[in-house]
């Protein structure tokens, strides 16, 4: 028995999230089905985190155990040959049996893309949220500064979040304009349900002049979801990198 770690990318548009769900098409479900076809084993996949329906990944990490004798240099080809085009295994390597894709994570990075054109770009609509009016990126970055560090992020997580400890550490939160796109990059030790999307939705309201940047400090202290902005659409969010 050996443990393998894979880095994968996927377009989450047509999936009901990462985690297996009854009667739903999911990333985990597709990978486990592919593994069963190539090994004949019932293999459970463990991911670094669960992305929601419509959220994408460039650097999702999974691990699984197998007794298969498939050569290491063939695993990537064999799995990609069994997966839909919207899921790609980027790397495969054997790791120590103690490695865990979820519990060993040190840093996660998510990036959110905003198409800030007057008219939406049809070729980006699956991967970016369209905001037609110009955003004040400097004000958004000023607001983002208040969220860096260790805080109780109750105001920035879904009311459906059932974990009691809502303290997380954000190592970096940047907003930058690249051409006609605005990118929000968030790095932290972990994120609550919808946390990044609510942060982005609130920053967009700052960029639109609907909120003052300093309000972010008050919203954070309130520990009240209703004080923060809207939840940004899933399609603009990508799990970019996981660091161990």
Three-state secondary-structure class, residue 243: strand
Residue 42 in this model has a pLDDT that exceeds 90: yes
Examine the pLDDT at 143 and tell me if it is beyond 90.
Answer: yes
Q: Which residues of 97-114 are buried (b: 16+ CB within 10 A; e: fewer)?
A: eebebeeebeebbbbbbb
Q: What is the pLDDT of residue 162?
A: 82
pLDDT digits (tens, 9 = 90+) for 173-197: 999 999 999 999 999 999 999 999 9
Instruction: Indicate the range of 17-31, 89-103, 107-121, 156-170 predicted with least confidence.
Output: 156-170
Contacts of 107 (CB under 8 A, 6+ apart): 171, 187, 188, 189, 241, 242, 243
- The CATH number for 159's domain is 3.30.70.660
* Domain co-membership, 55 together with 118: no
Predicted TM-score (pTM) of this structure: 0.95
pLDDT at 161: 84
Which residues are identified as catalytic?
52
CB 4 within 8 A of CB 100: no
Domain assignment of residue 136, given as a range:
107-243
Is 149 within 8 Å of 81 (Cβ atoms)? no
Same domain, 80 and 119: no
Examine residue 21 and state whether it is found in any structural domain, yes or no.
yes
Q: Which pLDDT score, from 0 to 100, does residue 129 have?
A: 98
- Does residue 78 share a domain with residue 129? no
Paired strand residues for 169: 150
36 and 111 housed in the same domain: no
Same domain, 16 and 89: yes
110 is annotated as contributing to ligand binding: yes
Mean pLDDT of the chain: 97
The CATH number assigned to the domain holding 31 equals 3.30.70.580
Could you say which of 28, 62, 95 is where a domain stops? 95
- The domain total for the chain is 2
In the predicted model, is pLDDT for residue 160 greater than 90?
no
């Amino acid at each position: 028995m050996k443990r393998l770690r894979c880095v994968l990318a996927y377009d989450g548009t047509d999936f009901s999230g990462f985690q297996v769900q009854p009667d739903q098409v999911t990333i985990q479900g597709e990978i486990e089905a592919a593994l069963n076809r190539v090994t004949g084993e019932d293999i459970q996949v463990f991911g670094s985190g669960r992305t929601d329906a419509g959220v994408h990944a460039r650097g999702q990490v999974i691990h699984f155990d197998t007794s298969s004798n498939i050569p290491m240099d063939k695993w990537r080809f064999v799995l990609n040959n069994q997966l839909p085009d919207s899921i790609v295994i980027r790397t495969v390597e054997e790791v120590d049996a103690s490695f865990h894709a979820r519990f060993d994570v040190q840093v996660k990075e998510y990036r959110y893309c905003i198409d800030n054109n007057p008219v939406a770009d049809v070729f980006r609509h699956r991967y970016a949220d369209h905001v037609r009016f110009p955003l004040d990126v400097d004000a958004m970055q000023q607001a983002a500064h208040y969220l860096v560090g260790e805080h109780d992020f109750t105001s920035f997580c879904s009311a459906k979040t059932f974990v009691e400890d809502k303290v997380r550490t954000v190592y970096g939160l940047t907003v930058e304009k690249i051409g006609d796109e605005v990118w929000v990059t968030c790095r932290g030790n972990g994120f609550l349900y919808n946390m990044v999307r609510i942060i982005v939705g609130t920053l967009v309201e700052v960029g639109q002049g609907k909120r003052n940047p300093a309000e972010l400090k008050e919203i954070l202290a309130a520990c009240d979801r209703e004080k923060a902005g809207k939840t940004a659409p899933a399609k603009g969010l990508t799990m970019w990198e996981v660091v161990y």
